Each structure stands twice: as structure tokens, then as C-alpha cells.
Structure 1
Amino acid sequence: MKLSHLLKGFCLFGLLCLLTENTYAQSQSTAAQAGIIEWHYTIRPKDNVWTLGESFLNNTKSWEDIIRHNNINDPKTLTAGTVLKIPVNWLKHQPEPAVAASVSGNTMVRRHLESRFSRLAKNSRLHVGDEINTNDGSVLIRFADSSILRLAPNSQLVFNRLTRYGKTGMADTRLRLQKGRLSTQVVPLNGEGSRYQINTPSAVAAVRGTAFRLMVDDLSSQLEVIEGSVQFSDNSRDITVNMGQGAILQPSAGQPSLIDLPLALKPKSVITNTQELPVTFSWVEQPDITTYYYQLFKNSTQGELLDASFLATPEVTLDHLSNGTYLVAMRAVDNQGFNGLDHQVSLVIGMVAKSATLLNPANDMLLDNDMPEFTWQYNSKNELSQLEIANDFAFNEIISTSEYAPDNTAIPNSELMPGEYYWRVKTLAGGDSVAYSDIRRIKIRGMLPPTQIISVNYIDNRAKIFWNSVPQAKHYVLQLAEDMEFKKILYEDTLEKSNASIKLSKNKRYFARVKGVGNELFKSEFSTGKELIIK
């Protein structure tokens, strides 16, 4: 039986087994001599070589290789705190997609091996070979090691490598910024095998844990370092750019010089909490600076980018925002185009809606208009409102609701039938705070359906008149006149039925008309006159 099999057999419940002193007397050349990149792992309590091998090594290596590589004769000497060196190319590794954590505007993605771009959706996974084109939008990308990258509008980015080394915490991220601008925050890289590198057509930016911005055009690559340091290089030049510095690499230029970025702005008017909008932020202008760059994020710099623009003065007014937390960032831009360090302010908006004051119609008003106009008055700024009309005081049967708008007038969605209604105004502030006005009752008066004389029967000297019945009519009024204009009324009667018998003189011409009469909610008109004559 092979020695390795015997050794495995002696291992029980994860305890390290004893190896004879001369089992692996011959060690390999040191990693430095062989040019091997190693990952250093510090043993923790309850660790053992066998389980470490299963957790971290690819299928071509085993725990025995770890023992040999570290020149360990007695595994029992591996106590907590001991450092093991493992070549990076022995480790498990697999592709680990990035995620589009936030997407705005017309941001598109072309998947690897596909020819067409499609709209990039929030939380989409991004794989090696994918290409993003932000157009007028932007995207926040989160990588497997929690590093983030924000791609600005009119930028193009390709994912060249997205690799994670198993459970080691190491990652190899390589990107290509074809054009445009990005900013990124890189989690400090764990181990020599980790890499975070961004290539451009004219330069390479490589880091091990920092925050920086990178801009690319047809002629140059521009770097601005916000935290830590970045190795900035091309085929012939290599420069280290530290925090607060910038540099430009151009193919035809000489050795680049380091530029001091503009300092962070000093606030002049800063608000951290507000219950009403608009709100204005301003900073002290810096000498020789004529351009400033403003950004507005939801929650934090890792949230959605809501607004961004270049300004002539460091001042911005915010309006029409919902309740919540925002981050306002402002920085100076020098005459070479280098962006300075941000001054950031966290703003919490907590607007509270106030009840509107109802103006017209008045309470219990009787209206002849079936599409009346309702008006009210706001008692707070920056509110939206909505008109609600219901059949009942409790508003369980709402029959008309307007859209939320900043207006203070509205009409019903459709004509109101004659009847009794209740109306109120709902105000909305900050997207989530709601208030209701008092409730008013109105009455809509309408026309009764027309009443017409249907037929007339003559018996001796009497005429029996019939007309159509109207369900809403409580009674009917019948009039008799000698003229068609009914200027001289000869007879008028109020009747419950829809017919009547009238005595007439023979060979004399008369005219009759009738109308239904309802309650206060209904108006009515007389029918056209009907000629009557007994011969």
C-alpha cells in the first residue's frame, strides 16, 4: 500500500496525522527562486491540512502537496497562527459574475458572442466578454469581492476577466475602458494572487485597494486618485499616483508629471435634514476654478445616481424629491480638466403632508352643473393633490379620483348623475406622507327625462289625455291654453297618474302640455303643446 494511503487512513475526525521525520526530507526550491506567486493562509483553531486541501485546492493538488511545499516534517507542529504558503495556481478558481446594482437611463449591454445590444436591467449579471454602453445613462457595478465601479454617461466598458479563487477571498478582475469615464472603489486585495486592473487604449491602471477615477478619450487616459495609490503605466512608462494626485498618459508625450488635484470644497450652506423643499446647498468658491461638478445619489455613493452636471458656481438647489436619504457631492474641476476631491453631504428629507383647505363648492351646495370644478388651497409647499368624490361619507364607494398633480383645481372623471355626493382632497408630500381635507357634501341637480303627450281620446265633450310616465317624477303638471305659446292658461292641474280627462267646448281649438316634477335634484320642462279640438 502507498504511504500516502496509509497516512490518510491514520487521520480521524480531522486530526493531523504523524509523518516520519525523513518522509519528505527533500524540499522543493523556494517560491522566490521559482518565481511563484503564493497565497498565505494563517491556520485557525480546528483547522487541519486535509480539510484545507479540500476547501482550497483544485483537483490536481492535495493536502500532501501543501506539506511538501512548506517543508513540514511533522504536521503536529501546525498550530493556530502558523502561516502556510500555497501557490496561487494550485487554488480552485471559477468565473464570478459582476452585478449591475443600479442602472439609469438608456444603458445597454452586448453579451459575449452576441452582435446586438439590449437594455441592461437592474440586478443583471455581467460576465466575461460582456460590453456595456451607457449612452445617456449610468450603471453601478458590484464585483464578487464587493468592489464597486460606477460607469458615467457616454462610456464603454468590457469585462476581460472576472475570477474568484474559491474560498480564499482573492479575486482577479480585469476590465477595459474603451471610452468615457468611471470611478471605482476597490476593496483591499487579499493575497498576491489578487488583481484589479483597468486597461484603456493608451494605459493601464492597476491597484491593490483604493478609490480612483479614470477618463479616456481618443488621445489620452487621465487618472485621479481619491484614496490609496494606483500604478499607472503604458508600454514604456510607469508612474505611481497617490491620493490627491492625478496624471495623464498620452502615447506621443514624454514621462507624465503628477498633478495635485483641487482640494475638497469648504461648505458655505449645508443642510442635513429638511421637512420642506426646495433646499439649496452652496460651497466656497476656489481661486482659479471656473467649473464645478455636482452629483446626487440615492442613499450613498453606492446608490442610484439621480442627477449630475457641471456648474459654473458651487451651488445647487434640490426640488421635487421624495422622502428619504440622499447624498450630495460637489467638487472643483481645474483648467486642465482634473476633478478634485468631493465634499459630500448626507441629506434626510422628511416632508409631512398638511390638509388642504377646501374652497368651492361650498358644503351642501345644490349645483346645476354635472361637471363642476372643485378648488382648494395648499397649506404647505411642494405637495401634490388628488380630488376624491364618493357616494358615501365614509368614502367606501369612491366614484371619481383625479391624478396626483400640483394643481389646486380638478373636475370629475365623468358627468355626475343627479344625486348627493361627498368630496375631499388628498395631499401627498415626499411620496409617502398623506393628509386628507375636511369632507363636504354637494347635490347635483339634473333634468328629468322629457314627458310627451302620447295620445288623446275624445268622448262626447271630453278629451282624455295620455302621456309617458317618468320613474323619477313624483307628480305631473298638466296645462291647457288657447294659444300655442301658452300665454293664457285656461286650466292647470297636478296629477299623480299619467293621464287626465278634460271637458272642452265643441268646435273650439285648445293646446295641452305636461311636465314631470321630481324632488329638488331634478329640473323639468313642459312638453311641446298638443292641439285639441272636439267637433
Structure 2
Amino acid sequence: MKKCALILMTLLFFVAQPTNGSAGMKSSSAERSTQDDQIPDTGCRKDFRNFSKSGHSSGTPADRKVRVCSSTKKRLKGSRYSGKPVPSRNMTPLKGCVALVQGEARMQLRGKGDWISLKAGDHIPPRSNLRTGRDGAVEIKYEDGSSLLLRSHTEVTIIEAWKTRTSRLLRDFFLSAGRVTAKVQSVMGRSSRFRIHTPTAIASVRGTEFRVTVDKEHETCVEVLKSRVTVDTATKVINLAQGEGARIKNPARPLPPRKLLLAPNPLGLESLYNTAPVISLASVGGAQAYRVMVAKDEQGKQLVWEREVRRGERVTMSGLDDGSYFLLTQSIDPIGLEGVPSEAFPFTIRENPLPPMLLTSGCERRGGEKAVTLEWLSVADAARYHLQISEDGDFRNPVVDRPDLAAVSFRAEGLENKPYSFRIRSVARDDSPGGWSDPVAIPAPCPPQASSGAWPDFSDGMITLRSRSAGEGFKYHVQIARDDRFQEILVDEKVDGPEISVRKPKESGTYFVRIASVDGSGKTGSFSRPQSFAIQNRFPPEWIGIGSGTGLFLLLLLFTL
């Protein structure tokens, strides 16, 4: 019996002990749970201190990125950076998706090789470089709805982008130049990480909307539009609330936070324009300048026109094609922080059909009266023309008002022998009128005989092209070609005013003219739709001036955008 009892106790002892396999599984499970919450920190605070001592203005953007954020190269604690991402069984690479692209936007895949153009739907893997051009923009979205919008002339590197087993998203970006707007979605429980590194700071958020800018001097501006942002510099942490901003010029001595300015309201904005819109901005206290933006969308992502203007400066939005737009504004304070954006103000531009160009003009006097003959080019998208002649410059009481001219000529008789002005516009097939031409003066003295060459005199064989003025401070780019595609260009000149004189072509045929406005910053708008004029070998007798003996001298008194 004693022997049986001893055997039974021995068996019970071994059964009660846990197996090595089950113990290992429990240990491994606990270890994975712990590791899953241990997120590799890519913070650069230590590097900032070294960076601020050595100075932040030297080296290329890539060199600065390595100096400032060298610790971000370490994917896991204790690992050694080898130039490639360190794989983790608890994290997978996180790809962004191109939600919007405009103009020039390129990517260098994983920081190597050629730059490729981006298109909507492209995937952006970690460690890729992004770059936008002069009029470029690109928006990258992630699976949680967070996004990063790159404005023009912007360079960004995706340093880190991971997804953990518990679905936490970890993203670190380096902004070396330009402007970005980040929208970060909040999540339940432990939130994801979203940080933007710059040469002088790190902006960290867990659910907010904010802007970050790095200027040519590599100084950083952070502006919070919603929620809160933490800005980490070499020596301190700055907590920014909604509606606050900070400028970090020296990481060791950052400027204190300050309130963002309100946006200026546009003054004189109309709902419909048939010429380039001209507005002014209401004054905002503390503003040094303003940013004016025109976008295709209400959110202001797809900008088609953008300017910084001084206080009190009138804004001419030239070079915009016909279509519907939204106007947005922001104030800029003395240290360069930009305020909250305004609401989106809708407006529409419809400049086409353009006013026709005047071909010939004749003036004759009989007794105490005079008659004026006007001829103009046919505009392809015009159904008819509207012509006015007036004694006053504002055309409040025109002596001739013909809105139903189907032909391309008109003779006004019975006018008194005194000064007049005339203007003309095209009317589209849907009865929508285009913009008026600039008024053109008809001189008071009129020769006693019919003479199309007497007003004005083109005996020197020159042609004068006069366009509608785009506004103060604009220059003009004029081209004349033998074909409507402008492959055989005869004249290509830039002039200070909306008028150019060129020698009349010797060969008969049809010639095409187009013009573009150039603003004060040197940016050239789109060329107008071509208009044409004809040079003929033989001329009607009434076009030949008595005693001139030179035939037809073409006068383009009016050519408009």
C-alpha cells in the first residue's frame, strides 16, 4: 500500500506542473502585448540642442534633416540604422493615398531614384520625398481620414509611417521648405501620432487642424486652426491653443505664442464679372499684409490664383479663365504669422465673348453734321454686337445705342461736329453680354471729304493695336501670327501699356492676334482667344483716301482681352 501511495503522489506532482510550451505561450503573449504599446520614439529634442549650437543656416535641406532628426533613423530601441526601415512583427508600413493633385507634384520613391509625377490614387510609401512646383499642390490622405496638404514650392519627406497591431497610426514628416496644412483625426482611447519636423521645431498633435511653414531663412511658423498643438524646440515646449501661432527663428530662443489675426472682408466683390475682378480689403488691426486666394473649391485646396498684398492695396485678379470661383483671405501679422482663413466668397467670371477689334473707321463732314463709319472683326462665339456712341465718357446718355447689330459694320449719321466716344461689346448666343471695350475717342474736327485714312493718319504704313487695360501696374505680351495656333509668329513683344504699333504686313492674307497681361510680380496670365484681321491685295474704292495713293491702312483701334 505504501508503495502504491508513493507512485500515486509522484504522478499527481508531475500533472500539477505547467508544461514548457504553455508557459512559453503565456510569456510570448504578454511580451507581444507589452511590445505593441512600446512605440519607437523618433523625437529629436537632443538633436535640436546640438543643432542650435552648430547653427541652423548652413548646409542643404537634406543635411539639415540628418543633423536635426538623426534619431528618427532608429526605428526600434537598440537597433542600428542601416539605411533601410527596420522591420517589426508588431508594425506594418503605412501608405498614404493621393487624394488631390494640381499642377507640378512629384515623388521620389523611398528617397531614391528618379522623380515621378503624381496622379490621384497613387500610393505614397514611407521614406518617400514629395515636391510641388510653382502652381502645384498635392493632398495625401491616410486610412483614418487624416491628411497633409502641400502647397506650391514645398518639399516634404515622410520619415515614418507605421500601423501597429492595435491599429495605432504613427506618422512623422520632415518639412524642409514651403507650406503644409494638416488635418488629423482623433481616435478613441490612445490616439495616433502625427508630427511634423522642421529645421527648428517639431509640431505634435493628436487630433487637430494646423498649418506649418518653413521660409527661405529656414524659420518655422506654426498656426493652429482647431484644437491644440505642441511645439518642441531645442530648449522648451510651447503649447498652442486654437487661434494661436508661434514663430521659431532660433530653436534656443523661440518667440512666445500670439493670437492669430482675423481675416479681412473683401470690399466691392460682385457675383458676376465680365472683366478681371478688382476688389479692396477691409482693414484689420495689427495686419501688415494680406493673402488673397482664388480657388476652384470652397475649402481652398485647389488654388488657381494667389497674391500677398499690402495694406490699402487694390487687388486685380487677372488671368482667370471663365468659370466659377471662391475667394478666400488671410491676414499676415508683422512677424509673418498668417491668421485664420475667411469664409469662401463665391463669384463667377465670364469675359467671353470678347469685344471685337475695330478694322476701319471713317469720318466725313457735310455741312454742320458728320458721319462716322466703324467696321470690326467677326468674333467666333458672338451672335451679335452692341455698340454705343456718347458725348460723355460714362455712357449714361448715349446718342447711339444699338444692341442688335448682326453685321460687322455700322455707319452713324447726323452727328454734330464735336467730340464723341464709342465702345462695343459682343453678345453670346445665349444672350449673355461680354465685357465692354475701353472707350475710344472720336475727334471733333472732321475733314470735309470722306477719308478713312484721315482719322487717324496711317501714311507711315503702321498698325496700332489697342487692348482693354488690365489695370494699374500691368504690362502686356502681344503676339501676331499667320496661323491661329501661333506656330508661325511674326510679332512677339512685351510693352508697358495696352497699345502697340507694328508695321502693316506686306503679304495679303489673314493674321491672328492674341495678348496676355503681366502683373507687377512678373507673372503672365493666359493668352486671350485669337482674333483676326485680313490684308487684301485690292481694296474697295471708298477705302482709298483722296491724294494718299497708299491703299488700305489697317487700323485696329480696339483689341481687348
More strand by share: 1
More helix by share: 2
Provide the TM-score with structure 1 as the length reference. Answer: 0.49
Between 1 and 2, higher relative CO (CA 8 Å, sep ≥ 6) is seen in 2
- Computing the radius of gyration over CA atoms, which structure comes out larger, 1 or 2? 1
